[in-house]
Amino acid sequence: MLKLSYKIMLREYLSPILETIKIILLALLIVMPIRYFLFQPFIVKGQSMEPGVVSGDYLIVDEITYRFREPVRGEVIVFKYPFNPSHRYIKRIIGLPGEKVEIRNGKVYINGKPLNESTYLPPGTETPGEIEMVLRENEYFVLGDNRIASADSRTWGPLPRKNIIGRAIIRAWPLDALAKFSAPFYQF
C-alpha cells in the first residue's frame, strides 16, 4: 500500500514538471525554425541609416522573400559585410544588377537618370563621392541613408547577392517608433 501511494505521489509531483518540459520543447520546435529560416531579429548599431533607422532600433528581418524573388531598389536590407562575413550591415539598395550607377555633384544617377530619394532622405541631402560603375550579374549597389556617416558601396564596392541575409520588414522597438518598411516607388 505504501509503495502504491509513493508512486501516486511521485506521479502527481512529476506530472506538472513533465508537462512544462513538453510545452517548452514544443515551443522550441515551433520557434527555432521560424527564427533561423524565416525571420530574424536585428539590432541596429551605428548611424549609417539615420534618420529613418537609428542605433538601438530592433528590427525584424524577412529571410524568406529573397528565396522567391530578387531584391528591389529602395528596400532596406541586412547583409554580411563582404570583407568580414561575421559582421552584419544594414543599408538601402540603390543599384540593381546590370545597371550603371553614378554619383556626381552630390547626386545619384541610375543609367544616366537622377534617382529621386526624397521619400527617405531629408531635403538637401547630398551623396559625397564621384563614382561610376556598371553592376554585374548578382551585384547590388547599397548606400546608407546618412550619406556622410556610412561605409557602403562607395567605399567597398558592389554587394554580392550571396551576402544578402534579408530585408527589414518591421521596426519592433522602440514601441513608439513601430513601423513597417516598404520600398519606395521610383519613377524614371
- Catalytically active residues are 48, 91
Q: Which three cell numbers stand for residue 65?
A: 522573400
Q: What is the DSSP letter of 78?
A: E
CA distance 116 to 125: 11
Cis, peptide link before residue 41, omega less than 30° from 0: no
Task: State phi, psi for 89 to the nearest 5 degrees.
Answer: -120, 160
Dihedral sign for Cα atoms in the order 174, 179, 182, 186: negative
